Amino acid sequence: MDTKIELTNLSKEELNTEITKIGEKSFRAKQLWQWIYYRGETDFNRMSNLSLNLRKTLSEKYKITRPKIITEQISIDKTHKWLLEFEDGERVEMVYIPEKDRGAVCISTQVGCAMGCRFCHTGSQKFTRNLTTSEIVGQFMVARDAYQEWPSPTDEVRYLSNIVVMGMGEPLNNLENVVKALNIITDSEGISISRRRITMSTSGIAPRIVEALQRTGVRLAVSLHAPNNTIRSRIMPINDKFKIEELLKACAEYQQGDHSRYITFEYLLLKGINDSIENAQELIHLMKKYKLRALFNLIPFNPWPGCSFETSERKTVEAFSQELEKAGFAAPIRVARGQDILAACGQLKSKMPKG
């Protein structure tokens, strides 16, 4: 059995402790950190400022693993999707969405998802397990390898400039590993992605919202998708546990005292279910009631095989957007990317149906 310790599972402090344990000075841990996260090196033998002896010890005791690429697809709009496999054979999908002079990597936090949102392809696949810190950080490193963005660029002009924690899984149900991974990814001596450029999306685990944001400092997106509990419970089972009131109270608490904190509310439009003008007005009322500084991201439903929901008409989506904008909320309509390769929101799935 492979008993080597995976270094990308360790926080900066833990790496330091580990390296001092084998009798090395702290600055060696710092050099090692830079090799792994600033240069993207995976082979101890190429770490040229470490002594040959140390390189040998490191290779005997430790490893730096990347998730294995099983397949890769690039869509006609250049959206890039990878199917990645971890050491135990479990798989997730990751997507890179390029823009003109930047781009976002959409990373996963769980294999499958336990929340079971009715409109989501991932939710139709049973929850298998949480991803480890190493597996979360490793996804981003795979994307960096692909776009050869090592060593970490020192300016903000990058192919991989942003991260959205919006792939498979509910990040707040894997909070410890997600916090650790985001702290590694944002460390200025390593991968160095600014916290402002990371957005984490939750389906609404209300009691963990404030803590999650305090511990990561990233931006918050909430998958609201409905203006009242009746509709929300119908499409998102999590709403039976944490009702809209509790969710929005947590959002308001997060915004308290800091006026720069805007929340993005994702709103998926499902034909005939939540897309009427009355629904938009109800939504505006909610935002005012809880005094939220909000912007909306309207998502036309992306269909997937076997799902019975339908996409709202374009003119319905536009009217919904206009209603929100009239009330002073930004409400852009998200352009689906990578639909031809099932890489768009809610289309990710890493397992074929059984039987």
113 binds ligand SF4 (CB under 6 A): yes
Site string for ligand SF4, 122-161 (x = CB under 6 A): xx--------------------------------------
> Which residue is at the shortest CB distance from ligand SAH?
346
Amino acid at 137: V
Cβ atoms < 10 Å from Cβ of 292: 20
Site string for ligand SF4, 216-235 (x = CB under 6 A): -------x------------
**Among ligand SAH, ligand SF4, none, what does residue 107 contact (CB within 5–8 Å per kind)?**
none
Taking CB under 6 A as the binding criterion, the range among 115-123, 174-182, 186-194, 206-214 that sits at the site for ligand SF4 is 115-123
CB under 8 Å, gap of 24 or more: what pairs does 153-158 form? 156/194, 157/101, 157/102, 158/102, 158/103
How many CA atoms lie less than 13 Å away from 301 in the CB half-sphere?
A: 25
Binding positions for ligand SAH, rule: CB under 6 A: 117, 119-120, 166, 169-170, 201-203, 223, 266, 268, 299, 301-302, 345-346
Containing 131, the helix (H) or strand (E) segment is none
Taking CB under 6 A as the binding criterion, the range among 18-26, 166-174, 285-293, 332-340 that sits at the site for ligand SF4 is 166-174
97 binds ligand SF4 (CB under 6 A): no
Amino acid at 310: E
93 is catalytic: yes
114 or 252: CB nearest ligand SF4? 114
Taken as a whole, the chain contains a residue count of 355
Residue 209 CB contacts under 8 Å (≥ 6 apart), including other chains: 172, 202, 220, 222, 247, 250, 251, 253, 254
138 or 167: CB nearest ligand SAH? 167
Report the site for ligand SF4 in 11-50 (rule: CB under 6 A). none
SS3 content of the chain, % helix, strand, coil (to 5): 40, 20, 45
| 173: region left, alpha or beta (phi > 0 left; psi from -120 to 50 alpha) | alpha
120 binds ligand SF4 (CB under 6 A): yes
User: Which residue in the set 135, 170, 266, 275 belongs to the binding site for ligand SF4 (CB under 6 A)?
Assistant: 170
Q: Are 263 and 308 in contact (CB under 8 A)?
A: no
**From 41, 90, 93, 266, active-site residue:** 93
323 is catalytic: no
The residues carrying an active-site annotation are 93, 345
